[in-house]
Amino acid sequence: MTLAPFANEPTLELRRASVRAGLDEAMARVDATLPLRVPVMIGEDERFDGQLVSTDPGEPERVVADSAQGSASDVDAAVALARGGSLQWASRTAEERAQALVRAAAWMRERRLELAALEVRECAKPWPEADADVCEAIDFLEYYARGAIELAASPELVQVPGERNELRYVPRGVAAVVAPWNFPIAIPCGMTAGALATGNTVVLKPAEQSPGCALRIVQALRAGGVPPEAISLLPGEGDVGAALVRHRDVQTIAFTGSQPVGLEIIRAAAEVVPGQRYLKQVVAELGGKNCVIVDADADLDEAVPGIVSSAFIYAGQKCSAAARVLVHEAIADQLIDRVAGAVSVLDVGQADQLATEVPPVIERAAKERVDRYAQIARRDGRIAARAEPVPNRGWFCPPTVAVDLPAGSPVLEEEIFGPLLAIERVRDVEHACDIVDGLPFALTGGLFARDPSTVRYVRGRTPVGNLYINRGITGAMVGRQPFGGNRLSGNGTKAGGPDYLRHFVEPRALTENTMRHGLEV
Ligand code: NDP
């Protein structure tokens, strides 16, 4: 099978009236199916007994999915099935597995408007972000399909007369995929696709806020030809994830989520339980506190929109979102004025409205958390802008800019994951880099500066996983910006990058004596 070279799935041209009309029609079709009934899916078995409910963050009384909830015995059953099915799936060639993923991508492409509409409803992703998320899921399927074929072609080793050496990458076995809600199709699909492409079987535990989106991923993969025993779905809460990652027969854990949960998983994975025969491999993509440095010579016409969109699009709920701006004191007042002006006119509204820039946050607990940090910012510093009023139904938080916070403030140091941006003055770029260096997080970061020597200096110093220069700091594209954090933001795996699949395989070296001693050949 020859696949065309990878290319990113193009996002929709939302300026076209016909495209916008298509979105409305897709939303009407999706609304007519709500609430979605999401089963626990273990192989061919499906159990529907709604206990978990996902709701629209903008209209919390609208139930989007009525989902069954996995139990400890479901974890055992799903892992046993995945283990039993792993030899069969692993015995398929990389090309055969790639074909299944490419067909799953085609399934999603055909339904991309409905998938985006479901994200709008279930996670309040505004249309452009929801569409981009579906495109990213398609990209992961296509990219890892190709990557797995490349990985299956063994690398060249040194060969000497009388000896044949070979290095092969083989699947590790059962992979537990534990996902967050903020990229509700792309992230679980990406981790699952990475594991499946390389011949592992998967048990997927999606976030409790987005079981409906997870159902669509499993349907796409099965429609593409991934056998039921190779992909099971266990919707549920954190306890299901905790039981899954601790299971004796899980060999790989692909986790994306918050730092505390990630650290707990890494600890759990290090415990060898009775009967366990593998060291568990953990792919951990965790939270951040992403800083944007603005030097005195920065082009503010570029910096202001870059900062505002990075901090507030999707209500600051992208892991890559800007949380702190470190601006040279010579232009700090000017930057604060301009960012405050731009933030105060942001369009806060329902995710299904195309004009909306800032939707609600995901749930009540998130709103309460963001409001708490906003109060601390008001108490300890100064609020430079707050886009109020916001709609009174749904989990809306006013986009807020805080300044003059004291060093060590939790607003500066902790991941808030909402529409609250802190701006701080720094003496110079070196001072800003010292602050970035001092953080335990190192996910994304940005720099606005014109002097090439400043750019060189920051490139050389910054510890972050993804550094963006003179542009916004969100929107990593598969194959173009391999994505993932360093330090306590992740263990350095790069989703959508050339090395990602290596985390799902184990290398085996084989050496054969080819001298045929004493034999007539
Ligand atoms: P959480 O860490 O709360 O949850 C992530 C997943 O882990 C969910 O499925 C959750 O289940 C599950 N879980 C919760 N507790 C446990 C446990 N003890 N053991 C195993 N699994 C558990 O993150 P969120 O879903 O709230 O996502 C937001 C976070 O994810 C932010 O910190 C963000 O920065 C980070 N993130 C990082 C990315 C990256 O690439 N570095 C990308 C996207 C998000 P349940 O939903 O039931 O709680």
The span from the CA of 186 to the CA of 476, in Å, is: 12
Residue with CA nearest ligand 1 atom 13: 238
Pocket test for ligand 1, best of 185, 319, 478, 488 (most atoms within 8 A of CB): 319
22 lines ligand 1 (CB under 6 A): no
CA of residue 183 to ligand 1 center, whole Å: 11
Centre of ligand 1 from the C-alpha of residue 159, in Å: 46
Decide whether any atom of ligand 1 lies within 6 Å of the 266 Cβ.
no
Which two tokens mark 329?
A: 């004191």
For the chain, what is the total number of helices (H) and then of strands (E)?
15, 21
Instruction: Please give the biggest Cα pair distance in the chain.
Output: 90
Burial class (CB in 10 A: 0-12, 13-18, 19+), 103: middle
Q: What is the pLDDT of residue 517?
A: 66
Exposure string for 191-220, b = 16+ CB within 10 A, e = fewer: bbbbbbbbbbbbbbbbbbbbbbbbbbbbbb
Task: Mention every residue, 6+ apart, whose C-beta is less than 8 A from residue 379.
Answer: none
pTM above 0.85, yes or no: yes
% of the chain with per-residue pLDDT over 70: 99
Give the pLDDT of residue 2: 84
Low-confidence residues of the chain: pLDDT under 70? 1, 517-521
110 in catalytic set: no
Report how far ligand 1's centroid is from the alpha carbon of 38 (Å): 20
Which of 183, 189, 239, 258 to mutate for ligand 1's pocket (most ligand atoms within 8 Å of CB)?
A: 258
* Residue 240 beta carbon below 6 angstroms from any ligand 1 atom: no
pLDDT of residue 239: 97
Say what the pLDDT of residue 518 is.
59
Question: In this predicted structure, what is the pLDDT of residue 515?
Answer: 87
What integer pLDDT is reported at residue 218 of this predicted model?
98
Spell out the alpha helix ranges (H) of 208-349.
211-224, 238-246, 259-270, 300-312, 332-344
Is 319 annotated as catalytic? yes
Among protein residues, the one with the nearest Cα to ligand 1's atom 25 is 180
Q: How far apart are CA 116 and CA 328, in angstroms?
A: 40
Nearest-10 crossing angle of helices 127-152, 112-123: 120
